[in-house]
Every structure is written in structure tokens, then in C-alpha cells.
Amino acid sequence: MVATVIARVESLASSGNESIPKEYVRPEEELTSIGNVFEEEKKDEGPQVPTIDLRDIESGDEVVRERCRAELKRAASDWGVMHLVNHGIPDELIERVKKAGEEFFDLPVEEKEKYANDQASGKIQGYGSKLANNASGQLEWEDYFFHLVFPEDKRDLSIWPKTPSDYKAATEEYARQLRSLATRVLSALSLGLGLEEGRLEKEVGGLEEMLLQMKINYYPKCPQPELALGVEAHTDISALTFILHNMVPGLQLFYEGKWVTAKCVPNSIIMHVGDTVEILSNGKYKSILHRGLVNKEKVRISWAVFCEPPREKIILRPLPELVTEAEPALFPPRTFAQHIEHKLFRKNNPEEKSK
């Protein structure tokens, strides 16, 4: 059997070509909204992604604690994305995770290919690039490394990078700490809906079943950044997504009908509310449409960890306490797997507008 050779975006970027292959050029209607990301990031007018200070989320002082939770709730209801600061994960650990990921992507492409995934056979973990899976055959200007990082008994360490040597230790400690941050956030979001503190976490699988999937996104320099996207517009299917980045801008959020560029906030973790929590909250918390721009000058790397419910075990539906005659259920019951299928179907059949 001959393995398909996939052109890595990194190889295209270093080929010296001044123009990008046509599969990477976005449709006409999208191109009008793609600007220079460095100029976009400098803009101070208009709405800005909120920054939420988590220092007081478990404060012993009830007034202080409630103020912090109220701010988190407001950001999750209004934006569905935020910069988290004072999140409790040591800066030194985050630097180790970033250094390990950068060193892996610094390896020659042929070294990284030893970890290549094989999407056709269902082997999705490992090193990869997007394959055209829709009618337009559109591609994104990124390579990535994808793997499950928590719970520890569900990991496949055989596909984790062996180089650099600190990759495993840094990544597994980060996953552990992120898992406890997810609990703190889900608790506050549950209370914000008038539910018991542990309710949302239980609904997405709890400690045993909620999966943390890490995707390191590597966006090489692009000779024609005004024509491409690093990642096309989408909402996350997860319950929550936590993102680190190398302080190069790129993330844009579709807020009140306009694309807003997220600033690079030092020592922060970006957090998205995903579709799963939007569904459970019956739309009270938002899963925001977002995309990634690329640029000519700097490689951008981001580390996204998607907190996902198990695919088949749980039926996702608006929680009964949040459904009333005045506010009927906005989403039908589906398993997580069915939700993914439904999104793919809608993406590939744009005329199907049903929920």
C-alpha cells in the first residue's frame, strides 16, 4: 500500500513561492473581511474581548467571590470567549509547554512525519494537515499535532513526541492543572445558571469521562496572508476550550456582526465556551464564531485544549430546569457524535439551515 504524501503547509511556506496554491485562497465573499492582523490588533475602538481575573473565584469572602463569578457569567453570556488571568497555572509550566511544542515543530518535516496521523483510516491523533473534506476543497494555512492528554488512562503515549525530552512531563502536568481549572470554571458557570455547582461537569462526563484533547496549531508565515485563513470560521464543539499562544495575534471573533481581533494578553489563557455548554445552557452561554488569520512576518503557534464529553454515552440537550414555556428548548437532543455529524452535514449542505 502506498502512503499518500500530503503537502505540509510548512513545506509550502519554505518553498520560496510568492503565491499560494489556489486551494488555500478563500472565497470572494470572505476576502473582503481579511485584513492585516498586526494593524487589526492595534485597533482600540469598538468592542474588545473581555479579560476575566480568576484570582477571587474561590475567595472566602462571599461578596468578592460572587463579583468574580458574575463577571465570568457576563463574559460567557455576552461573548462566549475571554482572556483568563490569575488562572492558577504557573507561568513557568506554561513556558515549558510552549517551549516543548515549539521545539517539536522546529524539527525537520521528515522527523515530524514519523508521527503522521492517517485520517482515512480513522487514526486522527498525531501530526497532520487539513485534508479537503468539503465540496469547495478549501484548505487552511496550518499544520498541527493532535492528541488526547486526559484522562491519563485513555492516552496513547506511543504517538506523543519523544523529542524534546520534556514534552511528556510538561504536557501531562499542564493537562492535570487544566483539568482542575475546567472544574472551577464549570462550577462557576453552573451556579450562574442557578444550578448546583457540580451540575455542568456531571453533564459533560465528570472526571472519568470528560476528555481533554490537545491540538498544537502551527501557522507558518504566508506569502499572501490577505488571501488565506489559518483556520476558517467555526464554533468549537467542545464544552470549553483553553488556548495558549506564542503572543502573535491571529484569533478573530465574530461579535455583533463584525470580526474583532483578540489582543495578545501576557500570562493569560484564552477560554471559549463551546457548543456543548451552549446547548446545556439552552443558549444562555454563547459559543462564538471565530477564525484565525495568518501573516507574512511571524510564525504563529497556539495550543488549544478541547474539553469534550464522551461521544455516545451522554445525550446533550438543554437542561430541563432551563426550559420553560417562555424559553422553549433551542436545541434537539443529540449525542456528541450526532452533534458533530450534524455540523459536518450543515457545513457541506449550506442550504440546510435547520438546527
Write out the catalytic residue numbers. Answer: 215, 234, 236, 290
3-state secondary structure the chain: CCCCCCCCHHHHHCCCCCCCCHHHCCCHHHHCCCCCHHHHHHCCCCCCCCEEECCCCCCCCHHHHHHHHHHHHHHHHHCCEEEEECCCCCHHHHHHHHHHHHHHHHCCHHHHHHHECEHHHCECCEEEECCCCCCCCCCCCCEEEEEEEECHHHCCHHHCCCCCCCHHHHHHHHHHHHHHHHHHHHHHHHHHCCCCCCHHHHHCCHHHHCEEEEEEEEECCCCCCCCCCCEEEECCCCCEEEEEECCCCCEEEEECCEEEECCCCCCCEEEEECHHHHHHCCCCCCCCCEEECCCCCCCEEEEEEEEECCCCCCEECCCHHHCCCCCCCCCCCEEHHHHHHHHHHHHHCCCCCCC
Nearest 5 degrees, angle CA 167-CA 268-CA 340?
Answer: 70
What is the Cα–Cα distance from 210 to 118, expressed in whole angstroms? 24
And the C-alpha cell for 56?
A: 477571587
